[in-house]
Chain A
């Protein structure tokens, strides 16, 4: 397993997530796809950490950043789900085609 293999998996994961954000209509699915994109980033960070060995030890900076991302993602999920619940209560829908009032 090389760094390139890991980055390839990470890129695939990111692309799948981004495609989901663009193509899916259900806002909850879109939300999950966003999480997948964040985890793709985490994966590449872990891979960088793993393959940047100095004096027999991995570079822990990448792994530290992953923890931050997980924390922020947790907070984002809390806020995002709350917004989705509020939105559903207001509009009785979770489909993005129906939520298009923010335009000219």
Chain B
């Protein structure tokens, strides 16, 4: 068995093993899952020695007709190797962290089986060499995400959030499927390697190309939670925090951006699709950052921050800067996983308190968490010298070449990012403690703090070219644009300073903007829209059922029989001689008809 197969199948075996054999042995299940993830991570590291474009044995999965044969195959190139490193590396740290976080959870076996299933699916997406295989694993990450969001299914909110995530993703995935079908119909192939040859003929019909590209982009809108399908991601924070870190911050939500980079040859051939993608990306970036400034749940702030950063990446793809997008994906995965794990440590240390206004002053009680969280915050907000600074600048620099509006909005988002992250920092870690839970806050066990410290290292250095460049192809020589750099340092300082100025020493939020606190009322709008549509549809079907099916058909048939019987029973006179007369008359009529009417 070759290396990619080993990397792909080990987590699946682990999930199956836990599900069928060690369901009741919680600790054994956990260690099996961690071991499987370690094997995949080691395999991913070894894979760096494999040359790009190496061929591996494929499993021919479907051979329906010659034009439609699907295999489970592998793409091994810079992109997939880097992504695989992120997925398995961060995955391994989060597996280890989960040992501590989920230590006394009753569903530990189920949780780790879910994590292993997720690793399998995500590795499948990364390796996919054709659209159908990608779609298959795309759905599998959706399923594992569903399972893990709804892990605490006894409470009301997690199953609802799991349903919301799954259903919202279905909308995007439907578009994705249509896009795949359109491309297959026009090019006759679903393999990524055939796309390049097909582009010249596709360009002949720009409308078709733009439509199919945007339909494929729909998949990314759902999975990467872009506006208008972003509503599921904040709710997905109902799942366990390590899951939020792994699936809903570092890897799965980045799958949309990864997929767009994979099919970038299509995106780059269609300027119309590019502008839509850039528009949606920057809308999400700005909108989510605005919402994040008014949230009070520590995980929701981070979730909106994730949305905003994903918006940056999608926008970069839309500006034909796919390398910048992958650069930001790479650095973002580290520091956002770090931030989520840090928030998990805070939540764990304060007895599952998530409201930032009930925390405060935690920097002395959770010193190592505070330090690593600070590193993550600085990396995210673009403090010079840390990871996010370089990759965000790459995107802003790309925007500064001919996209002035996007450039301005991206800088504005960077300001907001700095503002809401330092709001979080100041409220949670400085000031005085505001609740009992925070007062006896305690340091989490080493199994949780060590992954934080490990993740802090790439959050510090992942942006440098000597680090990121050994994994990725970086945008060539543009990161040292002095003007952009100066502006982005200015907005970083402005946001941080403003947050410090406003929030130091406050016990409740001094600024209340209902529009932002209620997330632009988008959830309420969808609620109303869906309720309205459902009411309309149900009243239509009810009318059809009541009047057409029940009234016309069922009651109609029985009514005809009843009326016929009612009329005919007047012939039952009860008079013997009348019967005899009718019988005789009938005989006469019949005889006349048969003998004389001809």
Interface residues of A, Cβ cutoff 8 Å to B: 18, 21-23, 30, 96-97, 99-104
- In the bound complex, how far is the Cα of B574 from the Cα of A96, in angstroms? 10
The smallest C-beta distance from B574 to any residue of chain A, in angstroms, reads 3
Of the residues A22, A23, A100, contact of B574 by C-beta under 8 Å: A100
Nearest CB in chain B to that of A97: its residue: B575
A96 to chain B: which residues have CB within 8 Å? Answer: 575-577
B577 contacts A102, C-beta separation under 8 Å: no
CB of B21 within 8 A of chain A? no
List, sorted by A's number, 28 A–B pairs whose CB atoms are closer than 8 Å. Answer: A18-B584, A21-B577, A21-B580, A22-B577, A22-B581, A22-B584, A23-B577, A30-B576, A30-B577, A96-B575, A96-B576, A96-B577, A97-B575, A99-B576, A100-B573, A100-B574, A100-B575, A100-B576, A101-B574, A102-B572, A102-B574, A103-B572, A103-B573, A103-B574, A103-B575, A104-B569, A104-B570, A104-B572
Residue of B nearest to A99 (CB): B576
Which residue from chain A places its CB closest to the CB of B570 in the assembled complex?
A104
**A100 contacts across to B, CB distance below 8 A:** 573-576
Majority secondary structure, B binding face: helix
Within 8 A of A (CB), among B51-78: none
B580: chain A residues within 8 A (beta carbon): 21-22
Interface residues of B, count at CB 8 A: 11
> What residues of chain B lie closer than 8 Å to A99, measured between beta carbons?
576
Residues of A within 8 A of B581 (CB): 22
* Closest-CB distance, A60 to chain B (whole angstroms): 26
B574 CB contacts on chain A under 8 angstroms:
100-103
Return B98 CB to nearest CB of chain A, in Å. 81
Chain B contacts with A in 81-102, Cβ cutoff 8 A: none
Give the shortest distance, in Å, between A14 (CB) and chain B (any CB): 10
Scoring B residues 578 to 598 as 1 if CB is less than 8 Å from chain A, else 0, what string do you get? 001100100000000000000
Q: How far is the CA of A21 from the CA of B569 in the complex (A)?
A: 24
CA distance in complex: A23, B581 (Å): 10
A101 CA to B572 CA in the complex, in Å? 10
Query: B170 CB to closest chain A CB, in angstroms?
Result: 61
B569 contacts across to A, CB distance below 8 A: 104
Query: How far does the alpha carbon of A16 sit from the alpha carbon of B570 in the complex, in Å?
Result: 29
Bound CA–CA A30/B575 (angstroms): 13
**Additional A-B contact list (18), CB under 8 Å, known A21-B577, A22-B584, A102-B574:** A18-B584, A22-B577, A22-B580, A22-B581, A23-B577, A30-B577, A96-B575, A97-B575, A100-B574, A100-B575, A100-B576, A101-B574, A102-B572, A103-B573, A103-B574, A103-B575, A104-B569, A104-B570
Closest chain A residue, CB of each to CB of B571: A104
Q: Mark B303-345, 1 if CB is under 8 A from A, else 0.
A: 0000000000000000000000000000000000000000000
Q: Which residues of A contact B573 (CB under 8 A)?
A: 100, 103
B573 to chain A, nearest CB (A): 6
Cα–Cα, bound, A103→B573 (Å) = 5
Most buried by A among B573, B574, B584: B574
A-chain residues with CB within 8 Å of residue B577 when the two chains form the complex: 21-23, 30, 96
- The CA of A23 and the CA of B575, in the complex, are separated in Å by 12
Contacts of A102 in B (CB 8 A): 572, 574
| Chain B CB within 10 A, most for which of A18, A23, A96, A103 | A103
Q: How far is the CA of A102 from the CA of B574 in the complex (A)?
A: 5
What separation, in Å, do the CA atoms of A75 and B358 have in the docked complex? Answer: 107
Nearest residue in B to A103 (C-beta to C-beta)? B574
Q: How far is the CA of A21 from the CA of B585 in the complex (A)?
A: 13
Least CB distance from A37 to B in Å reads 10
Which of B577, B581, B584 counts the most A-chain CB atoms under 10 A from its CB?
B577
**A97 proximity list for chain B (CB < 8 A):** 575
State in angstroms the CA–CA spacing of A100 and B575 once bound together: 6
Distance to closest chain A CB from B130 (angstroms): 76
Contacts of B576 in A (CB 8 A): 30, 96, 99-100
B290 nearest CB across to chain A (Å) = 80
Contacts of A23 in B (CB 8 A): 577
Distance between B564 CB and nearest chain A CB, rounded to angstroms: 14
Q: Which chain A residue lies CB-closest to B578?
A: A22
> What's the Cα separation between A97 and B575 when bound, in Å?
7
Q: How far is the CB of A59 from chain B (nearest CB, A)?
A: 22
Within 8 A of A (CB), among B130-145: none
B361 to chain A, nearest CB (A): 93
Q: Give the complex CA separation of A99 and B577 in angstroms.
A: 11
In the bound assembly, the distance between CA atoms of A102 and B573 in angstroms comes to 8
Task: Return B545 CB to nearest CB of chain A, in Å.
Answer: 35
